[in-house]
Amino acid sequence: MTTLNETIQIDRPAREVFQYVSDFATCMEWDATAIETERLDDQPVGVGTRYKVVCEAPVGKLPLEYEIVEYEPDHKIVLIGRGRFFEVEDTILVTPTSSGCELDYTAVFTWKPWLERFAQKMEPGLKRMGYASVQKGLKAALDDDFPAPELSEENARADRFVPTALVRFTKRGYKRGAKKLFNPMSRYMGDKHVVLTGATAGLGKATAEFLAYRGAKLTLVVRNREKGEELVRELKARTGNRHIGLEIADLSLIADADKVVANLSKKGEPIDVLINNAGALFNPRQETSEGLEQSFALLLLSPFRLTEGLKPLLKKAANARGEARVINVVSGGMYSQKLKVWDLQNEQDKYSGSVAYARCKRALMIKTEQWAEDWADDGIVINAMHPGWADTPGVETALPEFHKLTRLVLRTPEEGADTINWLAVASEAGQLSGKLFLDREPRTTHLTDSTRESAESREQLRDILDNWDNTRASDKAA
């Protein structure tokens, strides 16, 4: 038997610390040897929850199956891990102190009989691993004091050449980012309210699940009530999070977007994070029952109305808790297009769904930069991200040929959604505003100069969106 014990002091409430460590899916973020974790069941964290953890050991990859055997909320968790060479009992105790809490971590290894005689030899290495995991990894994760990321020289170089920039859109880009850059995200979300659009599929669904596990209060804006209710049932059962509600809205209808704003404003609950994720690519060109071209309505005007309309609730959260965040999900497709401010509804050229989509995302990126400037003193940070290429129902349906061709290199929805989650949760993400992110790193908004818009077009875009109702009313009157 070998016993390791480490104790650390953390300047945070016990509840926050417990919430983070008790979900062993986070151990990848701080354990010195874990390289993969996976939940093995669909149940809230508690007695019986099982995880697969793959560790990198001198003998190679070591898969372990962990199970929670004791769970005392906010205080104690005991896990048993079973592997080829040993069984390990991990006991984590969190105790409040005058300045925060103390975390005590004990791991007791019981070796397979044929390994007992080597146990003594392995002890120094294990002790080093325990120290690195708790005193360094877990302590840094819980101190949560990471610097805001900057564009790395390597990615800046990759973005100067379109083919290498595109390689970063694939699974490979995610894996490279995850290996080098990703810091733990232990910020407490149990007191945060997140409004998320397009939660019923793809990236939005992956984000909803991640945030539900983190304990955030969620308002999911979905267009299909049945699908929405099924999702809420599933998330509640799987994560144990009871605070998940719905707003029903077809966001290609501006009246519906405005209705969401009116409903949420009436409830008056502060919004800590607004995620404008709902999206689709339309072929052929179609207009909504409000007479707007669909891509423009869903991908630009609707997120614009939601964001502007919900600003008072974002501000309320910023006043109460120091900050609020808006995350606009755009697309790498925007790199191919320049803002065409005189044709926002894609009427003048021969219509292409991909071009219309890319132009709307380009315009939403520009709005993100303008909001960041305009709202700099309001405590609201606003950023955009693009997910690279992820295998979602949206991509499979709208781009079947592209999907067939790239299937093997597409990211999973979880990998595509990772930067949305990071922008919503990570403390350091709150230090930046008006940026475009891929894999948790700010990236260039133009791969070539040919897509750069003029200062005048940017101002025109601002005017058109700000004065949309007045312009429409006078168009109708004419």
Ligand X SMILES: NC(=O)c1ccc[n+]([C@@H]2O[C@H](COP(=O)([O-])OP(=O)(O)OC[C@H]3O[C@@H](n4cnc5c(N)ncnc54)[C@H](OP(=O)(O)O)[C@@H]3O)[C@@H](O)[C@H]2O)c1
Closest CA to 177 of 388, 467, 427: 388
From the list 40-48, 146-154, 368-376, 385-393, the region that binds ligand X by CB under 6 A is 385-393
Distance CA 147, CA 305 (A): 32
Which of 387, 430, 434, 442 is close enough to bind ligand X by CB under 6 A?
A: 387
C-alpha span between 195 and 246 (Å, rounded): 9
Q: Which is nearer to ligand X, 103 or 203 (CB)?
A: 203
CA distance 260 to 252: 13
DSSP per-residue letters across 346-377:
--SSPP-HHHHHHHHHHHHHHHHHHHHHHTTT
Minimum distance of ligand X from residue 248's CB (angstroms):
9
Q: Tell me the CB-side half-sphere exposure of residue 277, using CA atoms within 13 A.
A: 32
State which of positions 37-96 bind ligand X (CB under 6 A).
none
Residues between 364 and 383 with contacts to ligand X, criterion CB under 6 A:
none
**In angstroms, rounded to a whole number, what is the distance separating the alpha carbons of residues 268 and 288?**
30
Q: Which is nearer to ligand X, 252 or 421 (CB)?
A: 252
Contact letters for ligand X, residues 412-431 (x by CB under 6 A): ----x---------------
DSSP code for 136 = I
Place of tokens 């920039």: 165
393 is a contact residue toward ligand X (CB under 6 A): yes
DSSP secondary structure string for all residues of 158-208? HTTSHHHHHHTTSHHHHHHHHHHTPPP-----TT-EEEEES-SSHHHHHHH
Q: If binding is defined by CB under 6 A, does position 328 make contact with ligand X?
A: no
- Min separation Cβ 178 and ligand X, Å: 17
Site for ligand X in 224-253 (CB under 6 A): 224, 227, 250-252
**Rounded to the nearest whole angstrom, what is the least distance from the CB of residue 303 to ligand X in the complex?**
9
How many residues touch ligand X under the rule CB under 6 A: the total is 29
Q: Is there binding between residue 394 and ligand X (CB under 6 A)?
A: yes
Amino acid at 196: L
**202 backbone φψ class: left, alpha, beta (φ>0; ψ -120 to 50):** left
| Stretch of 136-144, 239-247, 389-397, 447-455 contacting ligand X, by CB under 6 A | 389-397
Site for ligand X in 268-297 (CB under 6 A): 277-280
Is residue 357 annotated as a catalytic residue, yes or no? yes
What does the chain come to in residues?
478
| Nearer CB in complex with ligand X: 88/399 | 399
Instruction: Answer yes or no whether residue 443 interacts with ligand X by CB under 6 A.
Output: no
Per CB under 6 A, 471 contacts ligand X:
no
Closest CA to 335 of 361, 305, 372: 361
Q: Which of residues 194-213 bind ligand X (CB under 6 A)?
A: 198-204
Helices and strands counted in the chain (H then E)? 18, 15
- When asked if residue 445 is in the footprint of ligand X (CB under 6 A), the reply is no
- Determine which residue in the list 386, 435, 440, 443 makes contact with ligand X, applying CB under 6 A: 386
**Which residues, other chains included, contact 478 with Cβ-Cβ below 8 Å and sequence gap of 6+?**
none
When asked if residue 17 is in the footprint of ligand X (CB under 6 A), the reply is no
Q: Could you say which of 20, 105, 188, 357 is catalytic?
A: 357
Task: Decide if residue 165 touches ligand X (CB under 6 A).
Answer: no
Does 177 participate in binding ligand X (rule CB under 6 A)?
no
Which secondary structure element, helix H or strand E, spans residue 106, and what is its range?
Answer: strand 100-111
The answer to the question of residue 129 lying near ligand X (CB under 6 A) is no
Cα separation, 459 vs 473, in Å, equals: 21
List the one residue from 12, 39, 76, 223 that touches ligand X (CB under 6 A).
Answer: 223
Binder among 21, 195, 292, 298 for ligand X (CB under 6 A): 298
Nearer to ligand X, 177 or 279 (CB): 279
* Residue 353 lies near ligand X (rule: CB under 6 A): no
Where does 274-410 have alpha helices with state H?
Answer: 294-296, 302-321, 353-374, 393-398, 400-406
Positions touching ligand X (CB under 6 A) are: 198-204, 223-224, 227, 250-252, 277-280, 298, 329, 331, 386-387, 389-390, 392-395, 416
Active site residues: 357
